[in-house]
């Protein structure tokens, strides 16, 4: 192993000699972090940085100042790169065409042959496919949830495309794939009305109306990449081989060796912070898997199914496993994420996973992502959403979901919301209930003020205010606690001043989530899940509440739970994970074990061919680990025993093991990736609540905006409490109580309330 001097890396944080004096950015470019420059070959920089400084090729050293012109951010504390403000549009097929080497006719022939091979491969599996309804069942495969948005044909087409690509590579001995263009199947976005729609669409389309941008961030649109994927075959084979050529360690082996279940409460954040994070995660991302009902492991879990469905990638469990061995389990189910059909001309020939919910922070977990879903959720009266309403209890809850297997068979009730995952955890149902109540509360108030408004207007106006409050809470209260003040300023994740419009919108910013962000960085939350919820009448083991929200029928349960969530500390982000999620995730009826979410996260990273941890450290301008000694002293030796080389460490593993940044809960690599993504959610959203009339066709008036900017999580909780005279709230609702954050009664004047009179026509 080579010992590099870590501090002298290019783009290193805080390094005094990182900038050449007088080298600030040329006109038409601005200084940004490397992750935010779409126009540059980030991978070549990362590759260069992966060599210790004295081994970097001199021929490439000249790039350091010409191609990658460095600049400083935050008074020299961080280094950035000069990036063109208006990037040259990508995908303009500047790649060399195959036509120069092979005739067009030959190219067509090869393609047709490859398509046939792929089709046969696929048929083989479809023939074995049971007629079982795929849109059901949390329990057959154990995971994940039914999905209603992306049609099965699209998934099949995506699968067929990658299989074709793989066949093409085989029959042309790998010479073709990189340059192959298939223009006849370009994915064409819908024509969007130029800027006139006052309300955002449910599916997220037409948020961007620039040419080629109408599908950015839309449900079903492929995820972006911070770095190119590390597919085993460059196309879709998962990343399973280590730097040394040997297999990477099993994801379960990593989870069981590195992660333990110990109590490590966070010093300042409460469980509501954890719970809000999951709710938010479900708003912006949902990995569509290829098939929900297929089985990858035998029923008894002792082995993998032979000739299983092509997306099966079960996780091997060793016979000496410290938990699963006692149940004889040697195989944990895992189905790969679906990939988008390759109709996107700009896309290269490799799998791109898709999100089946809109990527924007737009309340899609409340309202659904399709017209059909939203239609089913709406009351079609007074702009309200359907609900269960107990007048005596003053207890409004989401409507019941009667779909078979939507919850645990033991559950007496199960709720229907805009997102199929809402019954996962009892406290997640609470956050859904909160937003449902807020929507209906607003719709009722607006109706009183404007009796002439019809159902549709009331619905859309209430929705617009709910989304605005959600975004305001995310950027004002939640995110700064996740990434800490330094990364929040580095990525300019600020709010606009009260009563003033922001002009965050930047039409060249693609708001879509990246694979790396959804499969690794934002799953930091899994480490924050507590083993028990300290309910008023005694603690309950977390996994006992999975897919079973029955207790919501109790009169004061909702109020009591919200109080618990605020007073109980969440767990810290570290190598500790509750057994509720590493042993008992989605226990099937009659079984004494579930599955391991930490292992799934690692496996999901390999399924998406996310690159190893070190590459993302370098992308974030931090030195990579050249040796296992560069990791913390307690984890270095363990990692050495598991991985052959520091460049093999999975992103999720490396990221979760980093100590938290100052004032935040995650380590620097995840902080950088999360800050980057939320900056894109903000800059790439034309409808961002504080954007003014210059960009936002659904902007608020200045007095309305000022009202929304006063709102807090505490306001929402109090505005929707069952018993506001008895309910107490913390003004800083995501923080534990302390001297300056004492519980106060909801009716107290300190709790801001939304003055809707500004919405009177
Ligand atoms: C008890 C609490 C939780 C449970 C049981 C849970 C469970 C799950 C499951 C089963 C998946 C799908 C895994 C896969 O197949 O790849 C998932 C995905 C995810 N979770 Fe959690 N989760 C919890 C809390 C959280 C929290 C607190 C956060 C963030 C703060 C979070 C963020 C995510 C993200 C970003 C994904 C990826 C979503 C996607 O794109 O599909 N989760 N979680
Ligand atoms: Ca969304």
Count of all residues that appear for the chain in the document = 761
- pLDDT at residue 135, rounded to an integer: 42
Substitution candidate for ligand 1 out of 512, 526, 582 with most atoms within 8 A of CB: 526
What is the tens place of the pLDDT at every residue in 559-585? 999 999 999 999 999 999 999 999 999
Expressed in angstroms and rounded, the spacing between residue 472 Cα and the centre of ligand 2 is 15
Q: What is the torsion angle, in degrees rounded to the nearest 10, for the CA atoms of residue 194, residue 197, residue 199 and residue 205?
A: -40
407: left (phi > 0), else alpha (psi -120 to 50), else beta? beta
756: left (phi > 0), else alpha (psi -120 to 50), else beta? alpha
- pLDDT at residue 195, rounded to an integer: 56
Are 664 and 482 within 8 A, CB to CB? Answer: yes
Of 25-34, 262-271, 568-577, 742-751, the poorest mean pLDDT is in 25-34
Q: Is 526 annotated as a binding residue?
A: yes
Query: At 124, is the pLDDT very low, low, confident or very high (cuts 50, 70, 90)?
Result: confident
Ligand 1 atom at minimum distance from 424 CA: 5
Neighbouring C-beta atoms of residue 606, cutoff 10 Å = 24
Among 105, 140, 196, 282, the one annotated catalytic: 282
Query: At 309, is the pLDDT very low, low, confident or very high (cuts 50, 70, 90)?
Result: confident
Sign of CA dihedral 185, 190, 191, 194: negative
User: What is the 3 state secondary structure string of 231-297?
Assistant: CCCCCCCCCCECCCCCECCCHHHHHHHHCECCCCEEEEEEHHHHHHHHHHHHHHCCECECCCCCCCE
Average pLDDT, the chain: 88
SS3 of 116, please?
helix
Are 352 and 172 within 8 A, CB to CB? Answer: no
Q: Has residue 745 got a pLDDT over 90?
A: yes
Are 410 and 548 within 8 A, CB to CB? Answer: yes
| Helices H / strands E in the chain, number of each | 21, 13
Distance of CA 446 to the CA centre of its chain: 33
Q: Has residue 226 got a pLDDT over 60?
A: yes
Tokens of 279: 């709710």
Query: Which residue's CA is the closest to the ligand 1 atom numbered 22?
Result: 526
Q: What percent of the chain has pLDDT over 70?
A: 87
Are 316 and 331 within 8 A, CB to CB? Answer: yes
- Best CA proximity match to 236, nearest among 346, 288, 161, 153: 161
Q: Has residue 81 got a pLDDT over 70?
A: yes
Q: Has residue 185 got a pLDDT over 90?
A: no
What is the tens place of the pLDDT at every residue in 548-558? 999 999 989 99
Are 292 and 335 within 8 A, CB to CB? Answer: yes
Expressed in angstroms and rounded, the spacing between residue 641 Cα and the centre of ligand 2 is 41
Indicate the DSSP class of residue 629.
G
Tokens of 252: 């379960």
Residue 601 to residue 454: CA distance in whole angstroms:
45
- pLDDT at residue 88, rounded to an integer: 58
- Best CA proximity match to 369, nearest among 147, 197, 204: 204
- pLDDT at residue 571, rounded to an integer: 98
Which run of H or E residues covers position 425? none
Residues linked to residue 339 through DSSP beta bridges, in sequence order = 353
Query: Which residue's CA is the closest to the ligand 1 atom numbered 25?
Result: 278
Inter-CA distances, 369 with 104, 349, 566, Å: 41, 28, 30
Q: Has residue 36 got a pLDDT over 80?
A: yes
- pLDDT at residue 177, rounded to an integer: 53
Give me the half-sphere count of Cα atoms (radius 13 Å) on the Cβ side of residue 543: 18
Which run of H or E residues covers position 75? none
Residue 84 to residue 739: CA distance in whole angstroms:
48
Q: Has residue 62 got a pLDDT over 80?
A: no
Who contacts 187 (Cβ-Cβ below 8 Å, separation ≥6)? 215, 341, 343, 344, 345
Expressed in angstroms and rounded, the spacing between residue 523 Cα and the centre of ligand 1 is 6
Are 77 and 11 within 8 A, CB to CB? Answer: no
Query: Which residue's CA is the closest to the ligand 1 atom numbered 12?
Result: 144
Expressed in angstroms and rounded, the spacing between residue 178 Cα and the centre of ligand 2 is 33
Query: Which residue's CA is the closest to the ligand 1 atom numbered 8?
Result: 597
Query: Which residue's CA is the closest to the ligand 1 atom numbered 20?
Result: 523
- The interface pTM score, or ipTM, of the predicted complex is 0.99
Mean pLDDT (whole number) for 493-499 = 94
Substitution candidate for ligand 1 out of 255, 281, 420, 598 with most atoms within 8 A of CB: 281
- pLDDT at residue 194, rounded to an integer: 62
Beta strands in 174-236 (DSSP E): none
Q: Of the ligands numbered here, which is closest to the C-alpha atom of 594?
A: 1
Statement: the pTM of the whole predicted model exceeds 0.80: yes
Residue 231 to residue 251: CA distance in whole angstroms:
17
Ligand 1 atom at minimum distance from 542 CA: 1
Q: Has residue 653 got a pLDDT over 60?
A: yes
Substitution candidate for ligand 1 out of 292, 514, 597, 671 with most atoms within 8 A of CB: 597
Mean pLDDT (whole number) for 121-147 = 53
Tokens of 618: 């370098």
Q: Of the ligands numbered here, which is closest to the C-alpha atom of 286?
A: 1
Q: Of the ligands numbered here, which is closest to the C-alpha atom of 607?
A: 1
Query: At 87, is the pLDDT very low, low, confident or very high (cuts 50, 70, 90)?
Result: low
Mean pLDDT (whole number) for 353-380 = 96
Are 608 and 337 within 8 A, CB to CB? Answer: yes
Expressed in angstroms and rounded, the spacing between residue 270 Cα and the centre of ligand 2 is 24
Query: Which residue's CA is the closest to the ligand 1 atom numbered 18?
Result: 523
What is the tens place of the pLDDT at every residue in 431-458? 999 999 999 999 999 999 999 999 999 9
Q: Has residue 15 got a pLDDT over 70?
A: no
- pLDDT at residue 148, rounded to an integer: 55
What is the tens place of the pLDDT at every residue in 90-111? 443 444 444 445 566 777 788 8
Ligand 1 site, CB within 6 A: 143-144, 274, 277-278, 281, 285-287, 424-425, 518, 522-523, 525-526, 528-529, 581, 585, 597, 600, 604
- pLDDT at residue 394, rounded to an integer: 67
Tokens of 581: 């999620």
Question: Is there a catalytic annotation at residue 390?
Answer: no
Of 26-30, 171-175, 408-412, 446-450, the poorest mean pLDDT is in 171-175
Q: Of the ligands numbered here, which is closest to the C-alpha atom of 141?
A: 1
Expressed in angstroms and rounded, the spacing between residue 220 Cα and the centre of ligand 2 is 11
Residue 161 to residue 275: CA distance in whole angstroms:
38
Who contacts 109 (Cβ-Cβ below 8 Å, separation ≥6)? none
Radius of gyration of the chain from its Cα atoms, rounded to whole angstroms:
26
Tokens 């042309």 -> residue = 172
Q: Has residue 67 got a pLDDT over 50?
A: yes
Substitution candidate for ligand 1 out of 523, 546, 548 with most atoms within 8 A of CB: 523
What is the tens place of the pLDDT at every residue in 692-710? 999 999 999 999 999 999 9
Q: Has residue 626 got a pLDDT over 70?
A: yes
Residue 689 to residue 681: CA distance in whole angstroms:
12
Inter-CA distances, 538 with 103, 423, 532, 561, Å: 74, 21, 10, 12
- pLDDT at residue 535, rounded to an integer: 96
- pLDDT at residue 150, rounded to an integer: 73
- Best CA proximity match to 450, nearest among 365, 378, 382, 369: 382
Expressed in angstroms and rounded, the spacing between residue 17 Cα and the centre of ligand 2 is 42
Residue 185 to residue 345: CA distance in whole angstroms:
7
Query: At 183, is the pLDDT very low, low, confident or very high (cuts 50, 70, 90)?
Result: very low
Query: At 619, is the pLDDT very low, low, confident or very high (cuts 50, 70, 90)?
Result: very high
Exposed e or buried b for every residue in 116-150, given b needs 16+ CB within 10 A?
ebbeebbeebeeeeeeeebeebbbbbbbbbbbbbb
Query: Which residue's CA is the closest to the ligand 1 atom numbered 40?
Result: 286
Query: At 335, is the pLDDT very low, low, confident or very high (cuts 50, 70, 90)?
Result: very high
> What is the helix, strand, coil percentage profile of the chain, to 5?
40, 10, 50
Ligand 1 atom at minimum distance from 522 CA: 35
- pLDDT at residue 508, rounded to an integer: 92
């Amino acid at each position: 192993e080579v010992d590099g001097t870590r501090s002298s890396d290019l783009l290193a944080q805080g390094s005094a000699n990182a900038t050449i004096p007088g080298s600030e950015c040329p006109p038409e470019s601005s200084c940004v972090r490397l992750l935010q420059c779409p126009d540059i070959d980030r991978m070549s920089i990362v590759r260069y940085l992966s060599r210790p400084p004295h081994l970097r090729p001199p021929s490439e050293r000249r790039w350091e100042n010409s191609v990658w012109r460095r600049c400083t951010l935050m008074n020299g504390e961080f280094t950035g790169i000069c990036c063109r403000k208006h990037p040259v549009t990508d995908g303009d097929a500047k790649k060399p065409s195959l036509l120069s080497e092979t005739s067009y006719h030959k190219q067509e022939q090869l393609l047709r042959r490859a398509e046939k091979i792929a089709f046969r491969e696929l048929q083989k599996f479809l023939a074995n496919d049971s007629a079982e309804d795929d849109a059901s069942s949390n329990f057959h495969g154990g995971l994940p949830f039914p999905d209603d948005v992306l049609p099965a044909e699209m998934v099949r087409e995506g699968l067929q495309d990658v299989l074709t690509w793989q066949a093409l590579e085989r029959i042309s001995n790998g010479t073709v794939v990189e340059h192959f263009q298939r223009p006849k199947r370009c994915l064409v976005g819908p024509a969007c009305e130029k800027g006139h729609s006052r309300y955002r669409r449910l599916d997220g389309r037409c948020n961007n109306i620039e040419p080629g941008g109408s599908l950015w961030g839309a449900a079903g649109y492929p995820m972006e990449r911070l770095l190119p994927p590390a597919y085993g075959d460059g196309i879709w084979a998962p990343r399973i081989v280590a730097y040394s050529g040997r297999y990477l360690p099993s994801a379960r082996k990593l989870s069981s060796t590195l992660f333990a279940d110990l109590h490590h409460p966070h010093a300042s954040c409460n469980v509501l912070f954890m719970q809000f994070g999951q709710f938010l995660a479900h708003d912006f991302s949902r990995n569509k898997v290829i098939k929900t009902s297929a089985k990858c492991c035998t029923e008894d879990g002792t082995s993998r199914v032979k000739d299983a469905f092509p997306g099966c990638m079960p996780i091997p469990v060793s016979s000496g496993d410290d938990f699963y061995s006692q149940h004889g389990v040697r195989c944990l189910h895992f189905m790969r994420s679906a990939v988008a059909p390759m109709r996107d001309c700009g896309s290269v020939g490799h799998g791109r996973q898709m999100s089946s919910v809109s990527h924007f922070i737009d309340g899609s977990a409340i309202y659904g992502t399709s017209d059909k879903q939203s239609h089913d959720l709406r009351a079609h009266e007074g702009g309200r959403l359907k609900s269960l309403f107990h007048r005596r209890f003053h207890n409004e809850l989401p409507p019941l979901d009667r779909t078979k297997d939507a919850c645990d068979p033991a559950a007496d009730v199960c709720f229907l919301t805009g997102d199929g995952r809402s019954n996962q955890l009892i406290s997640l149902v609470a956050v859904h209930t909160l937003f449902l109540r807020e929507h209906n509360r607003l719709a009722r108030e607006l109706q009183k003020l404007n009796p002439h408004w019809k159902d549709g207007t009331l619905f859309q106006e209430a929705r617009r205010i709910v989304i605005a409050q959600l975004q305001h809470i995310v950027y004002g209260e939640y995110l700064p606690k996740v990434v800490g003040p330094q990364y929040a300023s580095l990525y300019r994740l600020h709010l606009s001043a009260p009563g003033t419009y922001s002009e965050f919108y930047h039409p060249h910013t693609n708001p879509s989530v990246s694979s790396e962000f959804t499969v690794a960085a934002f799953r930091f939350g899994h480490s924050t899940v507590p083993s028990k919820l300290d309910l008023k009448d005694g603690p309950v083991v977390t996994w006992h509440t999975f897919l079973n929200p029955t207790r919501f029928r109790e009169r004061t349960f909702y109020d009591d739970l919200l109080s618990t969530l605020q007073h109980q500390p969440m767990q810290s982000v570290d190598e500790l994970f509750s057994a509720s999620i590493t042993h008992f995730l989605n226990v099937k009826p009659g079984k004494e074990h579930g599955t391991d979410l930490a292992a799934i996260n690692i496996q999901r990273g390999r399924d998406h061919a996310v690159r190893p941890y070190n590459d993302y450290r370098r992308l974030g301008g931090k030195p990579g680990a050249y040796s296992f000694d560069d990791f913390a002293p307690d984890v270095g030796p363990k990692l050495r025993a598991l991985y052959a080389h520091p460049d093999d460490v999975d992103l999720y593993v490396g990221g979760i093991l980093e100590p938290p940044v100052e004032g935040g809960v995650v380590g620097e690599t995840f902080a950088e990736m999360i800050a980057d993504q939320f900056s894109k959610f903000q800059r790439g959203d034309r409808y961002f609540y504080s954007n003014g009339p210059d960009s936002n066709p659904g902007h608020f008036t200045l007095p309305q905006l000022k009202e929304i900017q006063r709102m807090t999580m505490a306001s929402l909780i109090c505005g929707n409490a069952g018993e506001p005279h008895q309910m107490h709230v913390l003004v800083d609702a995501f923080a534990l109580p302390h001297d300056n954050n004492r519980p106060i009664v909801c009716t107290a004047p300190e709790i801001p309330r939304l003055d809707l009179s500004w919405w009177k026509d």
